[in-house]
Amino acid sequence: MELEMAADELKSVLNRLRRAQGQIAGIIRMIEEGRDCEDVITQLAAVSRALDRAGFAIIATGLQHCMAEGGQAAGDRDRMRARLEKLFLSLA
């Protein structure tokens, strides 16, 4: 399944990923500075959610494209559904 996203969808996902990248750099600094464990874990949870949202946005776009291609054979639809389900579960 190829990643095909509209420019606005792509921009949104990239912004989420860049924000997560910045958060990860902040977490590394926090650990290096010996910051409180609770603060570090709070930030890790925030990064995890940001990455999950980016992943779900990418998968949702894939679903949208699959649904738009409604003329697929039943076997193709079943295989695509199984692949998308596997992707969703990988984020769970």
pLDDT at residue 35 tops 90: yes
Mean pLDDT over 6-13 rounds to 78
Q: Which two tokens stand for residue 87?
A: 């992707």
pLDDT tens per residue, range 49-88: 999 888 888 877 776 666 666 555 667 777 777 777 787 7
pLDDT at residue 28 tops 90: yes
Q: What is the 3-state secondary structure (H, E, C) of the chain?
A: CCCCCCHHHHHHHHHHHHHHHHHHHHHHHHHHCCCCHHHHHHHHHHHHHHHHHHHHHHHHHHHHHHHHCCCCCHHHHHHHHHHHHHHHHHHC
pLDDT at residue 30 tops 50: yes
For residue 89, the model assigns a pLDDT of 76
For residue 55, the model assigns a pLDDT of 85
